[in-house]
């Protein structure tokens, strides 16, 4: 794993850097493999980034969109990460509908939904073996409790190592989430973290020793590239 930590002066600079990094990964992936696959995070931090990507002239037919986690709500629910992403980005570009791979959230239960999404991922990557397929980029946020995706502290989802997708739990509310081993199989993992409220969690995630189940973002140790893009409010103490 090669880990890069960049502290940007403010949120607009953070978004600009994230955009630049994603566009460079996109160009390389399309050059080398004819397509680019990215899994998106929810929450508030990435929204301006999604708006910025929507303004780019890109080969949308070669770009495939997944979500690294989703609240278990219908796609028209205000909490839906898919809805936020469509409004900020996907509704404004001519990306083929078949290139958008939303998390199924209208199944009989979250476990069935997780298994269905896992099957869709395996079919997309044509992978049947034990190997975890590699997305080109997985974009992650981090909560002030050091959760990422929907891998919350001290939850069962943190113990799932033999699946691509599992059921997360936030205060009793089910979520669908990539597992940490699947996240770690990505070619590049990019954390986008902003705000002073994230500092205490970042200190624990970056500490030489701390409990992974208390600070789940510590589990993200990809075999590929790991990028931490922080604004100054979040990353001041971490500036190397
Ligand atoms: C979600 C996200 C979640 C998010 C963090 C940070 O579904 O909410 O995927 O993991 O990235 O909670 O959220 P903010 O960017 O809003 O601080």
Integer CA distances (angstroms), 49 to 2, 226, 240, in order: 24, 18, 25
Residue nearest to atom 10 of ligand 1 (CA): 149
Segment 51-78 mean pLDDT: 98
pLDDT bucket at 145, cuts 50 / 70 / 90: very high
Report the percentage of the chain scoring pLDDT > 90.
Answer: 95
Residue nearest to atom 2 of ligand 1 (CA): 42
**239: pLDDT strictly greater than 80:** no
**69: pLDDT strictly greater than 90:** yes
Asked if residue 96 lies in contact with residue 63, where contact means CB atoms within 8 angstroms, the answer is no
Pocket test for ligand 1, best of 66, 141, 179 (most atoms within 8 A of CB): 141
**240: pLDDT strictly greater than 80:** no
Q: Dump pLDDT digits (tens) for 78-111.
A: 999 999 999 999 999 999 999 999 999 999 999 9
| Ligand 1 atom with minimal separation from the 68 CA | 9
- Ligand 1, CB cutoff 6 Å, lining residues: 41-45, 69, 81, 141-143, 147-149
Sketch out the chain's domains with CATH numbers.
2-226 (3.40.50.1360)
Q: Dump pLDDT digits (tens) for 6-20.
A: 999 999 999 999 999
Burial-class residue 152 by CB neighbours within 10 Å (0-12, 13-18, 19+).
buried
* Rg over CA atoms, the chain: 17
The DSSP secondary structure of 79-127, one letter per residue, reads T-HHHHHHHHTGGGS---GGGB-PPP-SSSSHHHHHHHHHHHHHHHTT-
| Ligand 1 atom with minimal separation from the 45 CA | 15
pLDDT bucket at 237, cuts 50 / 70 / 90: confident
Pocket test for ligand 1, best of 38, 41, 147 (most atoms within 8 A of CB): 41
Distance 41 CA to ligand 1 centre (A): 7
| Ligand 1 atom with minimal separation from the 198 CA | 17
Asked if residue 172 lies in contact with residue 60, where contact means CB atoms within 8 angstroms, the answer is no
pLDDT value at residue 135: 98
- SS3 category, 145: coil
Residue nearest to atom 15 of ligand 1 (CA): 45
Asked if residue 187 lies in contact with residue 224, where contact means CB atoms within 8 angstroms, the answer is yes
């Amino acid at each position: 794993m090669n880990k890069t930590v960049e502290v940007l002066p403010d949120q607009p600079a953070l978004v600009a850097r994230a955009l630049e990094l994603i566009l460079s990964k996109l160009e390389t992936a399309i050059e080398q493999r004819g397509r680019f696959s990215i899994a998106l995070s929810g929450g508030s931090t990435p929204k301006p980034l999604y708006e910025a990507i929507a303004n780019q002239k890109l080969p949308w037919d070669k770009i495939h969109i997944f979500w690294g986690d989703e609240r278990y709500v219908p796609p028209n629910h205000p909490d839906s990460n898919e809805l936020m992403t469509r409004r900020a980005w996907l509704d404004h570009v001519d990306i083929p509908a078949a290139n958008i791979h939303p998390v199924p959230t209208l199944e009989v239960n979250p476990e069935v939904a997780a298994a269905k999404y896992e099957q869709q991922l395996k079919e997309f990557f044509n992978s049947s073996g034990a190997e975890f397929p590699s997305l080109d980029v997985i974009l992650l946020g981090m909560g002030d409790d050091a959760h990422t995706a929907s891998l919350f502290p001290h939850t069962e989802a943190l113990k799932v190592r033999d699946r691509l997708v599992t059921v997360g739990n936030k205060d009793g509310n089910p979520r669908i989430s990539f597992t940490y081993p699947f996240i770690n199989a990505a070619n590049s993992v990019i954390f986008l973290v902003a705000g002073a409220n994230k500092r205490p969690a970042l200190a624990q995630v970056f500490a030489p020793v701390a409990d992974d189940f208390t600070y789940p973002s510590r589990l993200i140790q990809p075999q590929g590239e790991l990028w931490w893009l922080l604004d100054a409010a979040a990353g001041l103490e971490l500036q190397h």
